[in-house]
Structure formats: C-alpha cells, structure tokens
Structure 1
Amino acid sequence: MKYIFVILFLFVTLLKAQERPNIVFILTDDQSYDLLGCTGNAVVQTPNIDKIAQEGILFTNAHVTSAICTPSRISILLSQYERKHGVNFNSGTSVSDTAWENSYPVILRNSGYYTGWVGKNHAPIGEGGYDSGHGTKF
C-alpha cells in the first residue's frame, strides 16, 4: 500500500510539473499549399517557418469552408460553417458576443493563456461589425 501512495504521489507531481505548450497559430490568406519551403517550394525560402513546421505541427491536409477570407477566418475561430455563424465578406455582419465567448481564443484565455492577434484581423465582433472597435477582444 505504501508503494501505491509513493507511485501516486510521483505521478501527480509529474503531471503538475508539466508546462502547458505554447501555441502559435499562423494563418495566411490566399496562399497555395506549396508556397513554403517546408511544403516543397524550391524557390521561395522560408527558413523560420520551415523550422516551426519541423519542430511543431504542420497540417498537410487542411481545407476551408469558404473561399472568402472573412467567413473562412471566422469559421476557424468559431469552428462553425459560414451558414451557422452568418458572417459574410464586408456586408456589415459580425460575430455575436455570445458566439465569440465560445471561440477558441477566448477558451484559451479563460484557461490561463495569453492570447493576441497580429496582422490582418478582419474578424468583426459585436454590433457594428468592422467599425465596432471590438477587435481587441483577442
């Protein structure tokens, strides 16, 4: 019985000692699969992204549900098809605050991660869409 407690204590200690992984999610618009060195392009040199792909995870079979940037980006953030989230391209539609609270950036933030967004946003959140000023909710 004594050994079981020792093993259990060591197991719990190991679980507690593990750090959460860092998550860097890189999303680009209108980029063909083979435009990076890590995906086979012999002309374009992308050594830093190639290293990230080598040391992390490179998705080699990813597809979008919409051919337009804003709806596909919202689909990724919310894990929903465009017909469900209803955000179109430049039409004044936006993600509701309720839907945004279930997005993966908010779930990560609520789990103790620091989240941020750098670059092209085009993720209208809250009433008013792009002009709402809610783009800082990342």
Structure 2
Amino acid sequence: MKKINGTFELPDFLTPEQKSDIVSAIKEGIPILVDGPQGPTGKTTLVTLLQDNGVQAYEKWECQTIVLNKFIKYQKHDRKENRKYRAEALYKCLRETYVDYREAKKTLEMVYAFVERDQSLLTRPYQE
C-alpha cells in the first residue's frame, strides 16, 4: 500500500472515538474492517477514502468470515524448553554477529539474565 498522504482528513460524520480508532489502526498497521447497517451510512465512502490514502480498509461484505466453535485440544508448551530454544537461537545469531566468541557469550549471558528477571519478555511481541 502507498504511504499515507500528509493532508489526509477523516470525514465529519465519524465520532471522535471512531476517528481515534482509525488513527490508532493506521499507526499500528492494522487493517480496518468497516461494518454497519445496510443503507447510506458512509461505509463505502469511508473505505474508499481510506484506500485512496494508502490504508488497508475493507467493507465487511468484501471479507470472508470463518467461525471456529469447536474447542481443540491445547498442548502446553514447556517454558524451560522454549527459553532454551530462544537462548540457543540468540546465541547462534550473536555468534554470527560477533567475531569474538567471549564477547558473544558475555552478551548472551546478560540477555539471558535479563529475561530470567522478566519472564513476560518471552511472550511479549517484539517492538522497535
């Protein structure tokens, strides 16, 4: 999709909350699905405006909905094994980055100690 135009303005028929939701979705790169009752509510107008300005937006009728109602068996993951796998992957990356093995090992130990203090780092999505 193209970059958002600097003069891009949302229509006045949107509420402040709707405008805020749209701005948040645009900033986070989340596609927008516009829905509402059949009739002239501005759905097509809004989607066209968003798409013309490089935003990934669709009306509900343009999308396929898949409903999953049946529960599936959930397999628990071994957190220690997961940590070990992530640590090994990080170590491999560091070995490729650092020429000096001792420097790579020291960096890995610092990262691993940091992760041990804050377990949520293992489940939190990566953010720059």
User: Which TM-score applies when normalising by structure 1?
Assistant: 0.22
User: Which TM-score applies when normalising by structure 2?
Assistant: 0.23
- The structure whose RCO (Cα within 8 Å, separation 6+) is larger is 2
Which structure has more strand as a fraction of its residues? 2
Which structure has more helix as a fraction of its residues? 2
